[in-house]
Amino acid sequence: MSAVSTPPTAPVRRDAEATKATILKAARHLLARHAHGDITLKAVAERAGVSAPLILKYFGNKDALFARVMSFEADADVLLDAPLDELGAHMVRHVLFSQSQQGADPLLRIVFAPLHGEQGDILRANFRTQVTERLTARLDGPDAGLRAELAVAALLGLGVIYGIARGTELRRATLEDVVDRYAPAVQVHLTPGSGTRRS
């Protein structure tokens, strides 16, 4: 009498990249609300809906995970991906879309650097080299570094009011209405001669 064999069921495959993105998003959320030293892998795993061993599999350890979270490289790639004359509108739209549709701001975690001690120094250094210095390199004309920092400051202010203060009027407005109103305040720093200069 021969045994009836059943074909093995194919294992359910996780989308590894989507899972990594979920873990990073959870870690970023926690980093924006708690000191680095107080965040456990268990807390990240619970927020991401995965197991702590899976985080170790993908990232190796907590330090490696947070090294990725403290990097602005990938965010800056998207944030700065527009022609210079359209960059203000692109950046404003990206900040608003990221917060309203993806629940994450590409820049806002720099605001929480003081919570993180030595890790905050890493966060600041990464922000400087990966965001403001990259933007500075794109700008023509005088005072490029100052103008880059002013443009980024305007974006951070928008992110704070939208995501932290949760401004009711701002959140009620359409994304494109806010872009139309706010982008010129960013673009003025990006385009030489578009701002008011002291003689």
Cα separation, 166 vs 164, whole angstroms: 5
Cα separation, 79 vs 76, whole angstroms: 5
Number of C-beta neighbours around residue 73 at 10 A: 12
| Tens of pLDDT, residues 5-58 | 444 444 444 588 889 888 988 888 887 777 778 888 999 999 999 999 999 999
Q: Are 163 and 104 in contact (CB under 8 A)?
A: no
With b meaning 16 or more CB within 10 Å and e meaning fewer, what string describes 52-72? bebbeebbeebeebbebbbbb
> What are the chain's domains?
16-69 (1.10.10.60), 73-190 (1.10.357.10)
Range with top average pLDDT, 6-10, 104-108, 150-154: 150-154
Predicted model pTM: 0.77
Token couple for 12? 């359910």
Give the residue-averaged pLDDT of 169-197.
Answer: 87
Q: From 174, 196, 172, select the one nearest 185 (Cα to Cα).
A: 196
Cα separation, 30 vs 128, whole angstroms: 22
